[in-house]
Amino acid sequence: MARKGEVQIINPPSDVISTVKFAPKTNQFLLVSSWDTSVRLYDVVNNTLRHKFFHSSPVLDCAFLDSVKTVSGGLDNTVKLYDLNTHIEHNLGTHDAAVKCVEYASMVNGILTGSWDRTVKLWDGREKECVGTYDQNAGKVYSMSCIEERLVVATSDRKVLIWDLRHMSNYVERRESSLKYQTRTVRCFPNKEGYVMSSIEGRVALEYFNPSPEWQKKKFAFKCHRSKQNDIEHIYPVNAISFHNVYNTFASGGSDGFVNIWDGFNKKRLCQFHMYDSSISSLCFSDDGSALAIACSYMDEAETPPEPYPEPILYVRYVSEQEMRPK
């Protein structure tokens, strides 16, 4: 149920919401991909579903190239371009397994796709062709994030590969994840100093790009999205992270149904929102940081599903400066 300062979006997908992404430079338009095979565009200001199109299988990720062009990928192994104005779709190409991640890399004006086939591909959106395939050291791509020339790829074997998009002949660095368990998501800091990653075991790590010992001393990990009931600690996956571009603070969303806001540089939790309907599957701040899209989807975490079975729900929360600004 939506609370004050929050809007529940009508006509949500009918299956797990994989990704929510705001359009560039606006908090009005939201792109949403789902396991129901759809990609949807919402006008959140008017709370309307503006458009939807489909893949042949569940969609795992989506992104805007600009205000009207999108890219999406999923279990059909296909990378799809879609023009929201003309409604023309174009299959850009394929991977040999599911497409887990799609990103627009503005610095090289290209599209990056990461796959369970253990590669990242770079595509030229104008020429509509693949211009490079990069092996990810034998790890399936679970999450990736790029900021300017840096690309960070988190893989299935708890490795993190750091690439320079200007020189893709080899990765710049290969790191071991500082989290003991499977990586769920990785996101680069807006200030370009490093990245945050989360795992299935209620933990988040902050890492820095600079290899010097004084910078590496600053890295740390912390426990979150956990609860104690009858002296038993329940530990939940941290499924989603999104940065606030203005303050470099970030939101985390977990299978406990909570969203927390963190000031990573000062190692503080700034606030926690109310408990949501089910697991938080995806989060996205608008570019200006005024709105946070929150996707709730039950992801089969429990041995026996809850009754009644939770439906996917989408919220947009209009956040206050007080909640987001470092104290």
Mean pLDDT for the stretch of residues 310-323: 95
Average pLDDT for 272-294? 97
Phi, psi of 323 (to 5 degrees): -75, -30
- Tell me the pLDDT tens digit for each residue of 136-189: 988 999 999 999 999 999 999 999 999 999 999 999 999 999 999 999 999 999
Q: What is the tens place of the pLDDT at every residue in 237-275?
A: 999 999 999 999 999 999 999 999 999 989 999 999 999
Residue 6 binned pLDDT confidence (cut-offs 50, 70, 90): very high
HSE on the CB side for 55, CA within 13 Å?
Answer: 31
* Per-residue model confidence (pLDDT) at position 205: 97
Q: What is the mean pLDDT of residues 296-305?
A: 86
Tokens of 151: 């690309």
pLDDT in the model for residue 138: 87
What's the CATH number where 172 sits? 2.130.10.10
* The pLDDT of residue 305: 81
Residue 1 placed within a domain: no
* Residue 304, pLDDT score: 83
Task: Give the phi and the psi of residue 265 in degrees, each rounded to 5.
Answer: -70, -30
Residue keyed to tokens 């959140």? 44
* Predicted confidence (pLDDT) at residue 109 exceeds the cutoff of 70: yes
What band does 309 get if pLDDT is binned at 50, 70 and 90? confident
Structure tokens at 193: 């100093």
pLDDT of residue 1: 61
- Is 142 part of a structural domain of the chain? yes
The confidence score (pLDDT) of residue 303 equals 80
**Percent above pLDDT 90 for the chain:** 91
Region 304-313: what's the mean pLDDT? 89
Q: What percent of the chain has pLDDT over 70?
A: 99
Distant-in-sequence contacts of 194-200, Cβ < 8 A, 24+ apart: 194/219, 195/145, 195/152, 195/160, 196/241, 196/243, 196/250, 196/264, 197/143, 197/154, 197/160, 197/241, 198/237, 198/238, 198/239, 198/240, 198/241, 198/252, 199/237, 199/238, 200/237, 200/238
Note whether residue 231 is domain-resident.
Answer: yes
The encoded tokens of residue 297 equal 């989807």
CA distance 214 to 95: 40
Q: What is the mean pLDDT of residues 70-89?
A: 97
Domain count, the chain: 1
Distance between CA 266 and CA 269 in Å, rounded? 9
The two structure tokens encoding residue 66: 């600009």
Query: Mean pLDDT, to the nearest integer, of 303-313?
Result: 88
Residues of the domain holding 155 = 6-323
Backbone angles phi, psi at 214, to 5 degrees: -65, -35
pLDDT of residue 216: 94
> Residue 327: how many CB atoms within 10 A of its CB?
7
pLDDT at 2 over 70: no
Mean pLDDT of 29-47: 98
Alpha helices for the chain (secondary structure H): 213-216, 321-324
Q: Which of 130, 131, 132, 163 is nearest to 149 (CA)?
A: 163
pLDDT of 71 higher than 90: yes
Q: Is the pLDDT of residue 69 over 80?
A: yes
> Is the pLDDT confidence value at 61 over 70?
yes
SS3 at position 215? helix
pLDDT above 70 for 3: no
pLDDT digits (tens, 9 = 90+) for 198-218: 999 999 999 999 999 999 999
| 310 falls within a domain | yes
Q: Rounded to two decimals, what is the model's pTM? A: 0.96
